[in-house]
Amino acid sequence: MKLSKLALFSLALWVATVATFAWFFVRGSTAAGTDGRTAVVLQVAERDLVLTEMRGLLTATHGILQGVSANDMKQVAAAARTGGMNAAADVNPALMAKLPLPFKELGMGVHHRMDDIAAAAENGKPAPEIMGMLTDTMSSCIACHASWQLQSDGT
């Protein structure tokens, strides 16, 4: 009898732990923002890392635009690859847990679409199609910046 109660308690504790982790994975570390957006609250180093990644995506976008303008699909592919999934490969799981699910979905979607742009350029897709893909990708960037702000918790 005692063993079954211990097993039941252990199972309940495991379920509560998984549920708590899932709740934080979806919600992230958020607070009310200062301008109507939701603030994602991160440590200073984590905030700097996310902002560095965003600047990398902006640099990749600039390289894609330069390549399309020069009709240089090798440059388009190379620039897009710098913003692809490899750019998000080494993200700390603790940081990912702090990011709300919609933020993660937008960010990972952008990285995937950068890889799609690179593949399209490598496969000889025409410049207008590449520009359409980039426009769709930028819609996610705009949606993210319209919804979220990054705040530091001071640590």
| pLDDT value of position 12 | 66
Q: How far apart are CA 129 and CA 23, in angstroms?
A: 39
pLDDT at 17: 64
Is a pLDDT exceeding 80 seen at residue 5?
no
pLDDT given for residue 23 in this prediction: 55
Residue 21 lies in a domain: no
What is the number of structural domains in the chain? 1
Query: Would you say residue 110 lies in a domain?
Result: yes
Query: Tokens for 109?
Result: 């979607």
Of 6 and 135, more confident: 135
At 101-133, the pLDDT tens digits run 999 999 999 999 999 999 999 999 999 999 999
Taking alpha carbons only, the member of 12, 24, 15 closest to residue 101 is 24
The answer to whether residue 147 is domain-embedded is yes
Contact yes or no for 118/76 (Cβ under 8 A):
yes
The answer to whether residue 10 scores a pLDDT higher than 80 is no
The answer to the question of residue 23 being in a domain is no
CATH number at residue 129: 1.20.120
**Domain, as residue range, for 51:** 29-152
* Three-class DSSP category at 146: helix
Q: Does residue 15 belong to any structural domain of this protein?
A: no
pLDDT score of 11: 63
For residue 121, being part of any structural domain is answered with yes
* The pLDDT of residue 4: 82
- Residue-wise pLDDT for 12-59, tens only, equals 676 666 555 555 555 578 999 999 999 999 999 999 999 999 999 999
User: Does residue 131 fall inside a structural domain?
Assistant: yes
Domain assignment present for 3: no
